[in-house]
Amino acid sequence: MSVFPSVFNRLYLCLLGAGLLAFGLFAQEIKPSFDEISRLQAAYLRNLGEYTRWPDSVQFDDRGVVIGVVGRDSKGVGRILDYGVQIVDIKIKGKVPKIVKFPDSKASGITECDILFVLSSERSRVESLLKSVEGKPILMVSEISGFASKGGMVELTQTGSSKVRVTLILNPTISEKTGINFSSRLLGLKKGVRVVKP
């Protein structure tokens, strides 16, 4: 039987812990990871902007659609969108969209966007965020599980584990309350779309 309490054992663990923390703290910052799912999410946001009709009060005659990315964007959705705008020259409604990044859902300027993409870091705040934009013609999109049933308009959901598809859950009942309508092409997709019933 080992001696108890063992000073050596404690020292051993403390040393290990200190080493772990030191390496974790001082290891160089790595390149922000490129995430395949974020690539699809960014492409979806562009398509959603295209196949959504905003109410007449929102006009894009002299400006591009404003896409806000809310939360800790460690997978780089905003960066991919930026790349799309600057290099690939993507357009929505015939204009170059504007990409704005918000560190969290309490940041100011959120309600000035036309599309808000809510990242998973905002999971605990998603209900209050939805409350704060209630009635406003902002297309609310998120990767958070259950977003559409909680009152969001579009949920980008993942199916599969290693081989992943990103599909859509739409909640037109909520979007129509703000005057936002999904196009028939979006609602009529034969695969990859589920509509939340009222």
Q: Which two tokens stand for residue 163?
A: 């081989």
Collapsing DSSP to helix, strand or coil, 47 comes out as helix
H or E element in which residue 158 lies: strand 154-159
Cβ 9 to other proteins, closest distance in Å?
Answer: 6
Look at residues 11, 25, 77 and name the one whose alpha carbon lies nearest to residue 48: 77
Cβ 94 to other proteins, closest distance in Å?
Answer: 16
Of the pair 61, 80, the CB lying nearest other proteins is at: 80
Cβ 65 to other proteins, closest distance in Å?
Answer: 15
Q: Which two tokens stand for residue 188?
A: 């009529």
H or E element in which residue 37 lies: helix 36-50
What burial class does residue 162 get, using C-beta atoms within 10 Å of its C-beta: 0-12 exposed, 13-18 middle, 19+ buried? exposed
Of the pair 2, 57, the CB lying nearest other proteins is at: 2
Of the pair 101, 125, the CB lying nearest other proteins is at: 125
Of the pair 12, 55, the CB lying nearest other proteins is at: 12
Cβ 50 to other proteins, closest distance in Å?
Answer: 9
